[in-house]
Structures are given as structure tokens and as C-alpha cells.
Structure 1
Amino acid sequence: MRAHATYSSMLAPFILLASAPLGAFAADILKTSGYSTCLDNAEVTVQNLNMEFDKNTKKIVFDVAGTSQKEQKIEATLIVNAYGREVYRNKFDPCDSSTKVDRLCPVPKGSFSANGEQSIPDVVLSKIPSIAFNVPDLDSQATMQLTAKDGGKQLACITSQVSNGKSISVPGVTYVAAGMAVAALAVSGLGALAGAGQAGTPTSSPTFFEVVGWFQSMSLNGMMSANLPGVYQSWSKNFAFSTGLISWEGAQRQIDSFRNGTGGNLTEDSVEFLKKATLVHVDQGMNLTKRSFDTMQLWARDELNTNVNGTGNGTEGDNKIMHAVKGIQGYVEEYSIPKGNTFMTILLAFAIVIASITVAILLFKVILETWALFGTFPKKLTNFRKRYWWILAKTITSLVLVLYGVWTMYCVYQFKNGDSWAAKTLAGVTLGLFTAILIFFTWKIWSIAHKFKKMEGDASALFENKEVWRKYNIFYENYKKSYWWIFVPAIIYMFTRGCVIAGADGHGMVQAGGQLIVEALLLGLLLFCRPFSLKSGNWINISIQIVRVLSVVCILVFVEELGVAQTTKTVTGLVLVIMQAVLTGLLAILIAVNAIVVCCKKNPHKQKRKDAEKARDLDNLTPLDARNSLLMDPIEYKRSSVANKFGARAGYDPIPLTEQNTSYHGARPYDGQERLLADTQGVGHTRSISAERSVSPPNSRAPRLPSVDLAGPPGYAPAPAGPLHDHNYRGQAF
């Protein structure tokens, strides 16, 4: 085992060639990360293995410790694989003068350990490509095999991953992704405000639901139990926040206490255990035996001076446990979240978000009520003041809809791997509650649609009735009126996908095959129906679904059962990262474009009111009238129209209508003393009229009034009042 020390000299070059993932070390440094046994019932077991090569100092530092059942001379073989190919192999003897390590020649009976450093010759360094120190998340493993010098029996086998400190799992990507989700939410809100709450107005894609759903897809792909390349696993970690996974040690300790008091086993499933453990991803090409995966009790001490059988001149440091992980467990424990705490973590995150939303809405309610006591707030806020409880319920329902797929997955995972009866009970209750909420709204919308369809022949009222739209639009607002029901298969899709991923955890072939079927069915539905009301919505969602299907196909390539070469897997992983990164970038650009459009476009509600006012003005024109001209003043047209109608009766001399004797709507007021009639001899007279009466025409012929005073001659009876009794003419028929 100490051969590892000697082996380190050779390991350096070849580690460099392998250059691999993980870690965050200084520049031009390669370092092993974790280790495990690849041989059952080994006579020599390793309890510590650390090697680090610094290109600048040209030295490799090693730290190795273990136990041996007997004293014996050994030979060591060092093998380095990069991208599934063997790139280096060297066999050496710790007792040889050129590679001698005193305390490993021979390996003593009992425990042993050794640390130190060795210089790497320039001839070896010249063979190390510089790319080995720069390319992030490359797949590389170093394997050390120990054999007995007498007889050639294999005594031990240790494998370790090699890191160059470069990774694409960086906080910056997470912050950008979170910013995209917030921006999509803000643009959707601005779009709703710009539409003045008008019923039937869809939200431009990509919406908040679509963006978060896409992030969740990439995160879930990283949880698959397949031999994922390190580069893709690191990429998928950038989107873990979309599934509710947040590293928070204080919260994890509280969850540990809760589990401990409700039947949980914290021995190898707690925050304290993870703090002492080094994660070994056995789904990243690590060739481990079943026994090594199940037990994994190899130890590595951080700092250890040379000693044999417990004696030496140094002190021992803290122990580290090699902890083998894969699938969902490997994904969540990268965030120091024990697998038994997974469901409780997302439940806690959900509760915090709900509490924050509730407090914000209630605080805004208090502000409005205070405002109402001391002043008058805008009418637009009246609706919120009256309906804030419904707004709160709708917001919670929206959050349930966003998280339903991953919530299902975590609940099923808790049922399968959880140990706390209380956590399992909470998982069952919450999953049942969320499902009941979605079923209730589905039934409600379906009932309303059926009612309207029975009364009016279709379900268009779901989009046209403002009250119905305000309550239920989150489920179908972006669909065409004839495809309002598409949200039902969308919910079924989320539920089924979560069940497949969690239920088949640990079985990559079943996971990938089941998820491929689910994704393909949804893609077929979108291609057949094209249900989104906007063309952009159809193309964006279809594109997202196509990439989802292709992603699952790539993950199927990673499945161990298919035996695809590691080189092909790595190239496929890089292609998958590029494909998903390009789509994510396009979504970011579209969100920015939507923001610009929302800020620049006119308010459709205001524009509709302006169009209605113009239409009322045009209603004054009639195509049957020769005076129908857009060049004629509307007021002059009304006057001529009145005169024409009034003089159209046979045998009646029309009363001259001028600005001085006309008082219908829009005309200039009269002066009280008007000239109304003149007799045939040209003798006229005037009469005083009030602002509320006008002369009515006779029933048969126009009267010839004698030139008399206003009272008229004896025996004269004026014609009865006709329909012109109100001089405030507004266009009524005579």
C-alpha cells in the first residue's frame, strides 16, 4: 500500500494527462478526490490516500495509510484512465533503489502510514499537456493495484478520481438562472398590468412557469442513476435551486433532530456524517465492487505523519469517510443535505416562501386600509383590497402548480428511502393535499366549461367572462379557447415524471426508458394540437420539449447496461451541455425582448376605448344621405338633416332653421325673441318662446297664420303639440 507513495511519482505525470473534475484548488494543481476499493476481501486495506501535484514546484505530495494482514514485499501497478481510455500504466517496486520507500519495503503487519513528497523530472513534465490543468470537469481516474512479489497474488486495488480544480458548477451560473426566473415573473406581471386585467389576454412566452419548468428538467437530469459525465453533472447542479434544494446547515441540523426523535437513523445519514465524509460518485465511471459500494468504510486522514504500528513522530488529524453515492442521493448530498432530509428540506423551503408571500400580501393590505382612512387611493387597487384572500389563495395555487412535479418526486423518494415515520406522514399528507387542490380546480374549471358549452355551444366564456378569468386563468391563460383542457395532461405529465425518477432511483435503464416515454408523449401532444394561442408560445414550448426528449436520449447513452464507450459518453455529455446552454441563452434573450415589447407597446384597453369613441363619431354619417361627407362638419350635417326631415311633409312650408332659432344638441343657443313665421304678404310677426317649447307641425297642411297678435283672432285654436315639443333635439325621428 505504501507503494502508493512510490506510485505517486508516476501518478503525477499521468494524473496530469488524465486531468479531471471536482474541487476548487489553485492554478496548475492536480489532486486526487476520494478513493474506494475495487477488490473484495483485500489483504491490504487503505485508510488514507491523498496525492497532490503542483506544476510550479514540480513536486508531488503524497499521504497514504492502511493495514496489512502480514508483512510482505509488494509490487505496485499504477493505471490512469482519461475519458474511459488507459493513458498510462507503470509497474514499480518500493524496494527498488530508484523508487524506494523505506517504510513500504516491506509492507509491515498491522497498520502503516507514510507521507512525503517527490520531485518529478522535467522529462516527465514535458509529456503533460497544459489542457490537463485548464479544461473543467474532465473524467479521469487513477487506479493502484498491489500484488505480492512472491506468487503475484493481488493484495489490494484502490481507485481515485483526479481533479484539476476547474468546474462549470459555479455560483455565477446559478445567479444568472435565478435572475432569468425573476425577470420572467416580472415581465409576466408587467404584461398583465399593460393589459389592464383584460380577460382572455395571454402572456408572451417564455413565461415564469416555462422558465422554471425548463430549469427543473436540467436539474432532474442530473439526478438520474446513470454514469453521467462529470461535466454534465456539474452543469445540472447550477439549477438545483429550481427544485427547492438550498444548502443551509442550521436547517439541516434541526431536521436531523426532528428525524432522530421520530424514528430516524443518523449514523450515516446526517449533517455531521457528511461533514466528515468525502463523496465518491460511483456513477462517474468508478469501477467499484458491490461490497465496496455497500460498505465503503475506507478512511482518509487529512494530515498524517509517518508511523508504523501506531508509533511515530507525528499526530493524527481528523478522519474522513469515503462515502459512495449515486442518483438522487449523490445530487442532494453535494449540498450537504442528507438523503433522509431531502423531503423535509423542500417542505421547509416551501413553508418559508408561503410565509413570505402571506406576510407581503397582508402588509400591503394593511397599507391600503390605512391609506383608505386618510385619503383616496387609486381605483385600480380597489380590486386587490376586496379580493386579497383570493389573491393569496391563487398565489399559493400557482406555487403548487410550479412545484408539483418535483414535489411528487421528493415525496416518492421519501416513501422509498426515508426512515422517519413523521417525515413519511408529512410527505403523504402534503402530496395528497396538493393533488386535491389541483383536482378541485380541474373539476371546477371543467364544470364551468361544461355549463357554458351547454348554454352557448362552446367554452369561450372561460376566456371572456372577467370573473371566471380572474379566478382560474393560471391554468389555461396561454392556451387556445378550444384547447383550454391541455393543463390536465400537463399536470399528469409532471406527476408521472416525478414518480418514474424517484421510483426507479438506482436503476438508470428504467429511469431513462420511462422518462423517454413520458417526454415523447408530451411532445407528440404539443405537435398534434399546438395548443398555445400565440405562435411564439407554440414554437418555444415545442423547442423546449424537443430538447427535453433529446436530453433523455443522451442520458440513455450514459446507462451502464448499454455498454457505450466512456469516450462517447463524455462527448455526448459535452454536446448535451452545449445544447441546453444554447436553449437557456435563447430563453434569456426572449425574456429581454418581451420586456422591451411590454414597456413600449400601447395599453390595449385604452386603445380599445379610443377606437370606440371614433366609432361613435362615425355613427353620425349615413350612406343614404347625399350629404354624407367626411369633409362636412358634423354639426352642420345635423342641421341640414333636421331641415330636410322637417320639410319633407307634403304641403308644409318648413320653418327656417338657423343658428338663431335652433336649440337642439350641439347648436348655438337662441336669443329668446326669434322670427318664426312670415305670411304670404311679407307681414311677419314675432313671438316669445321659452327654452322648453318649439312649434309643432300640423297633421295635414301647413297653416297660414293671419297677421294678428300673439293671442290670435277670436275662434283660433292652435294646432296640438306634436313630437317636437322638446326643442332639445338629439337626433330623434320627427
Structure 2
Amino acid sequence: MRSLLWALWALGAAPQVLAADTLSTSGFQICQSDAPIQVQKLDVSYTRSSKEVVFDVAGTNTKEQKVMATLTVTAYGRQVYSTSFDPCGTKVHVDELCPVPSGNFSAQGKMAVPDDIASQIPSIAFKVPDLDGQAKLVLSTEDNKENLACVNAVLSNGKSADVTGVAWVSAGIAAGALAFTGVSAMAAVGGHPGASSSSPGFGDVMGWFHSMATNGMLSVSYPPIYQSFTKNFAWSTGLISWNGLQDSIDNFRKATGGNLTDDSYTYLGTLKSNSNANASATKRSLDLISRSLNLIPRSDSSDGSSNSEIDNIKKIAEELMVPSANIFMTVLLIFAIVVAAVIVGILLFKVILEVWALYGKFPEKLTSFRNDYWGLMARTITNMILIVYTIWVMYCIYQLKNGDSWAAKLLAGVTLVVFTGVLAFFAWRIIHIARKYKKAEGDTSSLYENKETWRKYSLFYDNTKTDFWWLFVPLIVYMLAKGCIIAGAQGHGMAQTIAQLVCESLLLILLLWGRPYARKSTMGINMTIQIVRVLSVVCVLVFIDELGLSQTTKTVTGVVLIVIQSVLTAVLAILIAVNAMISLFRENIHKKRRREAEKANGLDDLTPLDARESLLIDHPQRKDYTEMSNFNFTGPYEPYHDHPADRPDSAGSHKGLVYADYGVAHSHNPSDDYRDDDRSRSPSLEGRRPTVPGYGMAY
């Protein structure tokens, strides 16, 4: 009796809605295709409160015969139970299976579980999400010389780390970051250099969500609990199931050479329907089927088997009801819908402003948007390309490598070239402008101080220090390399993980060496995110089958990863709110420096006879001069410099002095000095004009 109870508890076909104290079998797989006995239906569950097993078994048999059963149960990669029993024996006896009849057979019923057996089931088995339990049942002839049937199954308690609420919460966090980033973008339209976005911004948050999602797409044997967790963030990569959309993509593929036989939305729907035919439908159905498909490779992982057959991009997509051949087209259409929504939103706001202008006066801050809405639209789309670039590279290469539609492959290739070309153009353009500023002015600070330059290109470098404006270039290379590694090396878990670890480590070294961000808060956030990325990839090494680590070690590592990544996600959510409030009261460092420079520029052409030295004129408070002096490293009446100005020696130039002959004998006009200084301070390379002579010149 005890052996049969273990068998009924360990085998099952379809997932079902489970109570809080219920264990069930789910996601069975036939492991002997040509077996004389074929199991077609098996629905078994055990309820702790009633200590009762309910079973429903059906199948076909080529001839009537008696069988022997061998059952092996494993939990977290370790064998916890193994036994052999005879359904016709005295200890275990089932009339419907003694002997197994020829043709169709079935057996249903309920069986009470003795207390001594029920007490052996640990309480934690009912609480741990994504219980990593497996069972294998082999039916053989009475003399054990020939196997008649083989079934693998997954044990489940109905709990999972894949929770719809987590996906909605993460989407809410991204929406909050988008709102704050949008406000900053509107400020940038006004032409205020240094008005950078708050951090963490929308790009930071989406980049982090992308990292968590792609961390579950490498070709390694993940513990079920961690892969279920990463699936909560798959929406950020564009994997969003939509019935009508998937049907349209299937039709498009069919018309362009695609094969829909076993890779279409209809096919996945059929699998799900079949899985639910024997039990109540749940959202876990396809997930459990997918997990069952990996039972054999995972059970043999301790022997050092390869990860070459594991395609977790395909697995996650199909669990979300997106056929693997539809992945790229799904992401492409979702991206197109978002871009269209952005364009319509901007144009609609433009129309509202025009109507407002006809009947009233709108705020002056919106004037820049009204005049430059096309530029804002272009910059927004460019920013979207920058945010999704890693994901886009990954899915394009995956489509080119595994797709079956020539048209989809063509679109993947064209869009990959276009997106890469757009980012390469902006990189070249910014580098070109920076070199011009460097040649004309000695530094590149005008990238931050010139209004027109800032308005056009600041989305690439707005949070970095002036000396690290170029940081976006290695970041683009990093995103390109990461996407190529994940998709290009799919099926080679060891090489894939090591290459990604190198990629993440190089970026971390760059950030630690340069500390390139202007604000300490931004520096801390980006450093923390990158450190966690590196640690996450290090943990993924544990999941590689070639290392031969136990399933228990993998599961513990997966739980640790979930905790670390969840904490960082919560911290980002808090920081979004905190930094939003801080940004209302704290001025951007580049904007502050520009204002201080303008104050200094207005005072550096004074002479002892200047009318502004009159006692009748109010003067700025001395503390302003002190702050200006500290900032310029010189004095309150000297011009602003990014670096300490070179002071002439005592026998050096007399530039700026008023001679007794007013410069006639010396062939020198003091106003030329002021014009030279004014030209050196101009942040723009174009449209410079000589200034009028300074006040206080004696004639």
C-alpha cells in the first residue's frame, strides 16, 4: 500500500488549482515512445488536511499482462525514495491494474494515507514555491527483463515565483521612472544646459529589468524557482502575448516561408488545451509542460552533461504563449506600437497648445516645446532605441539564427543595421563636435554649456562629468556585445556565461576607475546596479551542468539571487521617489556652473574708474564673491575657468592695465583685452561678435 501511495503521489499529467496544503503531480512525459503500455491520462493529488490521495489513471495496452513497477523519487537533485512493487501483490493491490487489461484501461478512486506515511512528508514541501521534485515510474515484465512503460513527472504544490502581481508592480516602477524622465525631457526642450534627468531614470530602470529578464535566458539548467522569478520581467523585453497579434504574425510567416506545424500560436494553444483536458485549467499549465520537457537532461546533469540542447529564450517565450519563431516580430510590433503612441501623444499636445494659443496665453515654459516638437519627437525615439538596443540586438540575432520566415529575417537585419547606424551617427557627431570645442577652447565643457548642443545631444551624456562625456560610446559597445553573446552563443552555456561575465566585469572596472557620473547619487546607483549584474552572472556559473554541482546548491543560489535582485529593485523604486523630490530643490551641477560663470563674466571687465564702483550703486554681497572665488580658483573679478588659470609672473604681460598714455604709446587698446576674454568665454563656436569697450575707459 505504501509503495502504491508513493506512485500515485509522484505521477500526474495536468496541472490543477491546488489548495494551500495540497501536493500534486504535473507535467508528465513519456520517456519510452515505443512502449507497449502508453499512459494517456493521470491525475493524482494528495491533500494534507484530509490525508487522502485521489487518482485517475488511463491508458492503452497491447496485450493483457501482469507488471512490476519501479518508482524513483528525487527532490532537488537527490534521490529520496526508491521502491519496486506488484499491483497484484498482497501489500499493494489494485483490481483495475491486476493484470493490466488489453486495449484501453482506466482506474479511478480515493485512498486514505496512514499516519506513519503522511508524517514522512515534510511541511516545507507545501510552502516552497516551484518545488523542485521529480519522479520516474518504470513498468516492466514480472521477470524485469523488458520495460513496458516509462513515465517522468514533476511534483508541484501549486506555488510559484511567477506572480502576475510582480510584473504589474515592476511595470508601475518603470512608469514612475518614465514620468520623472519625461519631466526632465520637457525641461531640456527649454534649452537649459545642465538640466539632466533624475536618477534612476527610465533608462536605468528598464536596463535593470532587462538584466533580470535576460539572466534567465542563458543556456544553463536554472532551478525552477529562479527561472519563474525572471519570467516576471520578460514583459520589459517585449514578450507580451496578444492573441490577435500572434495570429497575424503566424499568417505573415506562413505567407513568407514559415513552418507552422509545431511552432505557432495555434499549436501552443492546442498543447495547453490538451494539458487542461484532464484537470482544471490554470496559468501554470504551459509552464509545467515546459518544465517536464527538461526532466531528463536535468536529472542527468550530475554526470556532467552538456547544456547544448537548452534554449531558454524559446522556453520562456512559449511559456508566455509566444511561439519562438514569432519572438522578433512580436517585439518589433510592440516597439512600433509604442513609437506610434509617442508620436501621436506629442502631436496631440502640439495641437492642444495651438488651440490654447488661439484663445489664451499658455505658460512661457511650453513655448520651446511648441517651437521644437519635431526635435523632441526625434530625440525621444532615439532615446527609445538606446534603451532597447541590447534587447533588439539579441532578438535580431536570434531571428537570423533560428527564424523560418525570409521576410522576418530581412526585417531583423534591416532594423539591426538601422538602429546601430542611428547610434553610430550620434556617436560620430558628438565626437566631432567635442573635438571642435577642444581645438577652439581647450576643453569640451561647451558640450554642457552651449544651449543648442545640449538640447540636441545631451541624452547621451547628461549625467556624466565633463571629462567623461564619451562614456556613452563604450556603453553602446557593451550593449551590442551583450546582445550578441546571449543570442549568438545560445546553446553553449559555458561560453555564453563566461563571455557575459567578462563583458559585465569590464564595464564595472571602467566605472570604478573613472567614477564618471556628475552626482554622487547617480554614481552610487549605477555602481550598485553594475556590481549586482556581475554577481548575478557569477551565480549563473553555478547553474552550468559541466561544473557538476548539485541541484540543492543550484536552488540555494537561485534563492539568493532572487533576494539580492528583489532588494535592489525595491531600492530603485524608493530612490525614484526620493530623487524626484530632491530634483525639485537641487540644481543640476552643470547648470549651476554655467550660472556662476555668467556672473563672473559680468564682472571681469571692471577698472578702478568703472562707474559700477560708485558708492551710489548697490553691490552684490561679499559672500557671493567668496563663493565665486572658490569656484574659479582665482578671484571675484577674474574670468571663469574650468581649471585654475595660469598666472603671469611679475615680469610678464601687462594685459588689462590702464597706461598713463591710455595705450597710445604702447600701441595697445585695453578694450581688445576685454574682447579677447569675452570671446574665450563664449560657449558657442558660431556667431561670435566683438564686445563693446568695457566701462571705465579714460578718454
TM-score bracket, normalised by the shorter chain, equals: 0.7 to 0.9
Cα distance, 1:731 vs. partner? 8.8
Aligned to 2:656: none
Aligned to 2:316: 331
Aligned to 2:176: 183
| 3-state secondary structure, aligned to 1:459 | coil
Aligned to 2:387: 402
Instruction: Report percent identity of matched pairs.
Output: 54
Structure-1 separation of matches of 2:471 and 2:221: 35
Cα distance, 1:435 vs. partner? 1.1
1:585-664 residue pairs with structure 2 within 5 A?
Answer: 585-601=570-586, 634=617
1:162-181 residue pairs with structure 2 within 5 A?
Answer: 162-181=155-174
Alpha carbons of structure 1 residues 404 and 535: separation in structure 2 relative to 1, 3 Å:
same
1:9 matched to 2:18: no
1:307-456 residue pairs with structure 2 within 5 A?
Answer: 326-456=311-441
CA deviations on 1:343-401 (whole Å, 9 max, x unpaired) are 11111111110111111111111111222223332222121111111111111111111
Superposition RMSD in Å: 3.5
Give the residue type in structure 2 aligned to 1:128: I
Aligned to 1:230: 224
Structure-1 separation of matches of 2:525 and 2:170: 18
Alpha carbons of structure 1 residues 10 and 151: separation in structure 2 relative to 1, 3 Å:
closer
Is the CA contact 2:191–2:454 (under 8 Å) kept in the aligned structure 1? no
Cα distance, 1:507 vs. partner? 2.4
Unaligned regions of 5+ residues in structure 1, if any? 291-323, 637-729
Alpha carbons of structure 1 residues 41 and 617: separation in structure 2 relative to 1, 3 Å:
closer
2:121 aligns with one of 118, 123, 128: 128
Alpha carbons of structure 1 residues 522 and 613: separation in structure 2 relative to 1, 3 Å:
closer
Alpha carbons of structure 1 residues 126 and 190: separation in structure 2 relative to 1, 3 Å:
same
| 3-state secondary structure, aligned to 1:532 | coil
2:51 aligns with one of 41, 45, 58: 58
1:473 aligns with one of 446, 451, 458: 458
Aligned to 2:660: none
| 3-state secondary structure, aligned to 1:138 | coil
| 3-state secondary structure, aligned to 1:60 | strand
Give the residue type in structure 1 aligned to 2:402: N
| 3-state secondary structure, aligned to 1:46 | strand
Structure-2 separation of matches of 1:285 and 1:194: 52
Q: TM-score, normalised by structure 1?
A: 0.75
Give the residue type in structure 1 aligned to 2:231: K
CA deviations on 1:194-248 (whole Å, 9 max, x unpaired) are 7865213443422211111011000001112211111111111111111111121
Aligned to 2:38: 45
**Greater CA deviation, 370-379 or 62-71?**
62-71
CA deviations on 1:456-484 (whole Å, 9 max, x unpaired) are 22222211111011111111111222221
Unaligned regions of 5+ residues in structure 2, if any? 276-285, 300-308, 620-694
1:85 matched to 2:94: no
Aligned to 1:287: 296
Is the CA contact 1:229–1:284 (under 8 Å) kept in the aligned structure 2? no
Aligned to 1:247: 241
Is the CA contact 1:202–1:533 (under 8 Å) kept in the aligned structure 2? no
Cα distance, 1:486 vs. partner? 1.4
Alpha carbons of structure 1 residues 576 and 276: separation in structure 2 relative to 1, 3 Å:
same
Aligned to 2:507: 522
| 3-state secondary structure, aligned to 1:287 | helix
CA deviations on 1:68-114 (whole Å, 9 max, x unpaired) are 44433211122221111122223221112442223322223444333
Structure-2 separation of matches of 1:564 and 1:23: 32
Structure-1 separation of matches of 2:44 and 2:549: 30
Is the CA contact 2:9–2:44 (under 8 Å) kept in the aligned structure 1? no
Is the CA contact 2:194–2:589 (under 8 Å) kept in the aligned structure 1? no
Give the residue type in structure 2 aligned to 1:392: M
Give the residue type in structure 2 aligned to 1:481: T
Alpha carbons of structure 1 residues 45 and 199: separation in structure 2 relative to 1, 3 Å:
same
- Equivalenced residue count is 598
| 3-state secondary structure, aligned to 1:233 | helix
| 3-state secondary structure, aligned to 2:55 | strand
Aligned to 2:482: 497
Alpha carbons of structure 1 residues 192 and 733: separation in structure 2 relative to 1, 3 Å:
farther
Cα distance, 1:618 vs. partner? 10
Cα distance, 1:58 vs. partner? 2.7
2:151 aligns with one of 155, 158, 176: 158
1:531 aligns with one of 516, 526, 530: 516
Structure-2 separation of matches of 1:476 and 1:731: 42
Q: Which has the higher helix share?
A: 2
Structure-1 separation of matches of 2:518 and 2:59: 67
Structure-2 separation of matches of 1:606 and 1:456: 19
Give the residue type in structure 2 aligned to 1:135: V
Cα distance, 1:325 vs. partner? 7.7
Aligned to 1:96: 89
1:547 matched to 2:540: no
**Greater CA deviation, 144-153 or 392-401?**
144-153
Q: TM-score, normalised by structure 2?
A: 0.78
Cα distance, 1:193 vs. partner? 6.0
| 3-state secondary structure, aligned to 1:165 | coil
CA deviations on 1:462-519 (whole Å, 9 max, x unpaired) are 1111101111111111122222111111111111111111122222222212211211
Aligned to 1:28: 21
| 3-state secondary structure, aligned to 2:219 | coil
Cα distance, 1:123 vs. partner? 2.5
